[in-house]
Amino acid sequence: MRSILFALLTTPALALAQDVPVPMRLTDDVHGVYDNDLLSPEFHRGRREALRAKLPVGGVAIFFASPVRNRSNDVDYEYHQDPNFYYLTGLREPEALLIVFKEPRMIAGETTDELLVVQDRDPQSEVWNGKSMGPAEAKELLGLKSAMGAMRFKNTELPWKAADAIFSHRVDDPADDPHSSTDLADLLKHMEVTAPAGKEGGPADIRRWMAELRELKTEEELVLMRKAIDITCEAQKELMRRLRPNMTEYQTEAIVEYVFKTNGAEHEGFPSIQGGGPHSCVLHYITNRRTLADGDLLVSDIGAEYHGYTADVTRTLPANGRFTKDQRAIYDLVLAAQEAGIAEARAGMPFRAPHNAAWAVIVKGMKELGIIKEESELRRYFMHGTSHYLGLDVHDAGTYGDLKAGSVITVEPGIYIAKDSPCDPRWWGIGVRIEDDILITHGDPVNLSAGAPRKADEVEALMAR
């Protein structure tokens, strides 16, 4: 254990991953914002304009920040903003709301077609929790046309019209903090009391509009996605260099998440899946406590989150650095299926085209290996879809219609042969998933995560160094 930790802390490759440039950071002790590569105010303004274009005449869209969620007693979970709210505003603080009007309205003596409501700055609270973004700072830094403090908002008459079509994107109902009169629950009450009993749009409408917008990534978004994916690929490569039998799953998790943080990722996009041995056959295993044995496979499904955007890259690694003959047979079959799926990831193709292509390859291969006799049996060993959208969520918003240039999807077939499966026991305990992040274009698909080796020989070569 001590030797592993020492190696982690002293290896230059981890301290500054050569494949992942580290941006120069600007000092901003006034606002507490230190990253100089965040999405621009122009990006968020453009997204609000695109949403406004979808609203009907008299339409009003209302978005709420994610509520603070309690972990236990007086400890909350680390805050994570609602992706739609972040997409439209860039604000990463709680207890806020956004109103987007189709047509300009008069609010508190000012004509505007949008209003961001945030908490007023509280010097006493900032002693404990750091700087916050009050209405003046939000308007300046985020580029909103109008911003208002929560206390003023609660005493402002809102410019509703009887014929308004109100579309509300509400997250989970927030808890009402008895020590605050302006928290998210209070803002919600003010909205409900003052809103007219007019035509209320269905939540399905606003979900569809946001899915249509978020499905297509702008160049500015792709810069951040590439950064998140590059960091994740570096983490997979570092894991390949360091993986050994007798390591615990949590030690492998520590390696990849150390690389995440070292290279500027704020979070992991989802709990890291480090399933070794029998756990390689558990799709969303996150306990990560078992010790790896010589001969085990490790399914490493990880994603760094950078400025809100997450990667999702899976590699399956032999703990001792060498695939057995049977493990390689399954691995090569999954890789062939993935390559067939990636080839179908083209603009205009049905969303399920990559899955159908991967499925066909695996059916044929599993029959040839004698593991199944009929196609209907495959569901036991390949029980998930091959693709999902990727972006602000690991399973990102999208329409699931024909693939469109500018969207990013995963292609991730897998085969999982658990103990006691109805096949030759020689295959038991072999679980393999290979996943890459694919940019759909008007031409050939682009594998954004090609930086992490996929072919068995390449994986073994890197692990042997």
Q: What is the pLDDT of residue 204?
A: 83
CA angle at residue 177 from 172 to 183, to 5 degrees?
70
Choose the catalytic residue: 47, 307, 315, 388.
388
Choose the catalytic residue: 113, 301, 393, 437.
301
Active site residue 435: yes
Q: Is the pLDDT of residue 5 over 50?
A: no
Report which of 300, 88, 57 is spatially closest to residue 201, judged by C-alpha positions.
57
Q: Return d(Cα 140, Cα 30) in angstroms, integer.
A: 13
Active site residue 169: no
DSSP string for residues in 315-328: EEEETTS---HHHH
Q: What is the mean pLDDT of residues 424-449?
A: 98
Active site residue 29: no
Cα first-last separation, the chain: 21
Q: Return d(Cα 136, Cα 77) in angstroms, integer.
A: 28
Q: Is the pLDDT of residue 6 over 70?
A: no
Query: In 3-state terms, what secondary structure has residue 426?
Result: helix
Active site residue 395: yes
Domains of the chain, first to last: 41-213 (3.40.350.10), 217-463 (3.90.230.10)
Active site residue 306: no
Q: Return d(Cα 319, Cα 314) in angstroms, integer.
A: 15
Q: Return d(Cα 240, Cα 253) in angstroms, integer.
A: 12
Q: What is the pLDDT of residue 193?
A: 67
Q: Are 150 and 119 in contact (CB under 8 A)?
A: yes
Choose the catalytic residue: 186, 215, 416, 454.
416
Q: What is the mean pLDDT of residues 244-273?
A: 98
Choose the catalytic residue: 396, 435, 436, 437.
435
Q: Could you tell me the two tokens for 289?
A: 């406590």
Active site residue 393: no
Q: Is the pLDDT of residue 254 over 50?
A: yes
Active site residue 442: no
| 312-321 pLDDT per residue, tens | 999 999 999 9
The pLDDT > 90 percentage for the chain reads 77
The residue behind tokens 């994570």 is: 80
Choose the catalytic residue: 296, 433, 436, 454.
433
Choose the catalytic residue: 25, 31, 152, 284.
284
Q: Are 434 and 398 in contact (CB under 8 A)?
A: no
